[in-house]
Amino acid sequence: MEVRWIGVEPSKLGSPYAAFTLLLGVWSAQGLEMSVGKIPFLEAVNGSTVMLPCTYASCIGIKDLYFNWQYNDNGTMQKVCDAVIPTEDVEPNVNIFKDRVEFIGKNHKNNISILIWNITFEDGGLYTCFGRNPKEKNKNHSAVFHLIVVDELRVVDNTLTIIIASAVGGTIAFLMAFMLLKNLTLFVLAKLEEKNKECLVSSSGIDNTENGLSGSKADSKPTAKKK
Ligand SMILES: *[C@@H]1O[C@H](CO)[C@@H](O)[C@H](O)[C@H]1NC(C)=O
Ligand SMILES: *[C@@H]1O[C@H](CO)[C@@H](O)[C@H](O)[C@H]1NC(C)=O
Ligand SMILES: *[C@@H]1O[C@H](CO)[C@@H](O)[C@H](O)[C@H]1NC(C)=O
Ligand SMILES: *[C@@H]1O[C@H](CO)[C@@H](O)[C@H](O)[C@H]1NC(C)=O
Ligand SMILES: *[C@@H]1O[C@H](CO)[C@@H](O)[C@H](O)[C@H]1NC(C)=O
């Protein structure tokens, strides 16, 4: 009997671990943390209105948190808006330095997202959501969001979706392979046991008289089988 092993692609095995490490990285929050969401970029058509998402989180709490949004204009950082947030859930007075920008987060649930109305191609680029919490010795924290302005919507860049899908797919493939291997091992073990019995019966074929079923089998094939 031939045993064929079902292999698991090593590249598929890797992705669940990569995803796990990623999650660990996200969960190990201590001080202030700025976040622009799971997908840190947006592709939008010129003329549309977009939201640049950002939230902050802090396990030690905030007091007089300073935040701003900056725009990387050819290497020089231009302030888009800034404010000091006295405490959580208090709507701050936001200074706005760029046209068509609106503060829509309102610090509701630590939301400091902004809206840019009627975007132009010049609005495209990297936006940094910056935060500094005096409670933490004024340490700087930031997250970057990429706004891509296009003429018309191209095929959406699915890199992240593919990464997630392959991670999920990899995990499922891994589990399936594991279960298959388990079943196969059990099957092989059972077969081996069966063969062992057969071998025992065959080798003791000479004085085998009171062995019901296997006895008759041994009788029909008196010589030991070899494969
Ligand atoms: C987008 O830009 C193109 C090229 O500059 C222009 O023809 C088009 O009218 C713009 N669309 C909007 C909605 O502003
Ligand atoms: C920004 O970059 C564009 C193209 O690279 C260039 O034409 C323009 O002069 C630059 N503006 C500044 C302010 O450096
Ligand atoms: C955006 O464009 C629309 C239509 O062109 C205009 O009515 C509106 O006032 C613009 N909004 C801003 C904030 O510029
Ligand atoms: C932040 O507020 C805006 C406007 O209310 C909302 O669209 C967005 O979903 C909020 N983001 C989060 C992460 O709660
Ligand atoms: C934090 O950012 C400010 C600018 O907002 C800068 O002047 C300061 O040097 C930064 N501090 C650290 C420790 O990076």
Q: What is the reported pLDDT for 192?
A: 66
Q: Report residue 58 as tokens.
A: 């802090």
Q: What is the reported pLDDT for 199?
A: 44
Q: What is the reported pLDDT for 30?
A: 66
211 has a pLDDT exceeding 60: no
> Residue with the nearest Cα to atom 3 of ligand 4?
105
3-state secondary structure of 4: coil
Greater confidence, 152 or 12? 152
Task: Verify whether ligand 1 is closer than 6 Å to residue 151 (CB atom).
Answer: yes
215 falls in which pLDDT band (50, 70, 90)? Answer: very low
The packing angle between helices 10-27 and 159-203, to 10°, is 130
Q: Which atom of ligand 3 is nearest to the CA of 102?
A: 13
Map out the domains of the chain as residue ranges.
12-154, 164-220
Average pLDDT on 66-94 reads 93
DSSP code, position 152:
S
The phi, psi pair for 3, rounded to 5°, reads -105, 125
Minimum mean pLDDT among 24-33, 133-142, 179-188, 195-204: which range? 195-204
Q: Which of 46, 48, 148 to mutate to test the pocket of ligand 1 (most atoms within 8 A of CB)?
A: 46
Give the pLDDT confidence of 4-27 residue by residue, as tens digits.
444 444 444 444 444 444 444 444
Which among 72, 86, 145, 84 is positioned nearest to 94, based on CA atoms? Answer: 84
Give the pLDDT confidence of 155-189 residue by residue, as tens digits.
555 666 666 677 777 777 777 777 888 877 777 77
Greater confidence, 31 or 105? 105
Contacting residues for 30 by C-beta, under 8 A, at least 6 apart:
59
117 has a pLDDT exceeding 80: yes
C-alpha of residue 100 to centroid of ligand 1, in Å: 17
40 has a pLDDT exceeding 90: yes
What is the DSSP track for 22-63?
A: HHHHHH---SEEEE--SS-EEEEETT--EEE--EEEESS--S
Q: Which of 118, 119, 122, 123 to mutate to test the pocket of ligand 3 (most atoms within 8 A of CB)?
A: 118
75 falls in which pLDDT band (50, 70, 90)? Answer: confident
Q: Please determine, looking at this structure, whether the domain spanning 12-154 carries the CATH number 3.10.20.340.
A: no
Q: Which atom of ligand 1 is nearest to the CA of 118?
A: 14
Q: Which ligand is nearest to the CA of 91?
A: 4
206 has a pLDDT exceeding 60: no
Other C-beta atoms lying within 10 Å of the C-beta of residue 124: 17
